[in-house]
Structure 1
């Protein structure tokens, strides 16, 4: 009898452990499909009159119903947000269509005025416009040539000044060297005189 009781307790413990593991694995999937599959898996069945019936616990069915209603509520909220976005996009599209119509009208007006051009707010003919543009280009070219000439002239003067400076620096270096040599000669003579005076006394 004790062996039978021990085997029974072990069997019950194994069944409880397996059920607990199945519940942990099945509760991880929180999608509607996963919850529905869990509900089917946990249901029991029986046959009566040659037909198969599934028996589901009422608490699990109510929890599934709450989850479905929550999912529907979230979906309805998303649908409302999407509809608001769609209406905003439709408003923006209507605004863009209006702007496109205005742009098309302006394009037609510009095409009609293609024989004349706006120059500083005044409408002038194409020939006059080309003449003004070419005058500006020639004026800029003349200015560029004058700038290059002045630059080269200044560069030449700078080079001459550098050469003159290097000549002056060379002369100054020669003068400094000669003055140093003279100073050394005078120092030697002075030292010689001092030495002579010391010997004579």
Structure 2
């Protein structure tokens, strides 16, 4: 029984140390940017010699999977933002066209009213020409303000759309650059390995 207690304690200490190391390894993959995650994966990759004497570049599968998931999440988020901005822009464009139609109809009504009598009925109420004109112009001004508001929102949504597209393009460009860097490093390591193999063959 005395033999098992130190063994259990040693096992717990080793397990705690391993878990702490894994948590330290996972922290940059959870909190860093895509660029920082690529750099971290490349930094943590290492060389090892296979059973046939060949050298290989090794990267932890968990890091690659985390990097893949984080990159896909970033792209999906940007695509969702882009789709939301596009939908918002379409909805606001429809509202703007509707307001333009209402404004044109109101202006036509106003022009027709100006040619009629000074006293007129509106919704069952008798209004003077001045009062009627004031009401109609108030409606027109209100519609113009609403139209300006929706035009401004439409422009803002277009700005968001452009920014989202630019961000998506930048992420894709970064991903392609890091992929090329990794390929170049792998090719360089392979060339160095081949050179070393050739040197060893010549030495024999």
Q: TM-score range by the shorter chain?
A: 0.3 to 0.5
- Point out which structure has higher relative CO (alpha carbons under 8 A, 6+ apart): 2
TM-score, with length taken from structure 2 = 0.37
From the CA coordinates, give the structure whose radius of gyration is larger.
1
TM-score, with length taken from structure 1 = 0.38
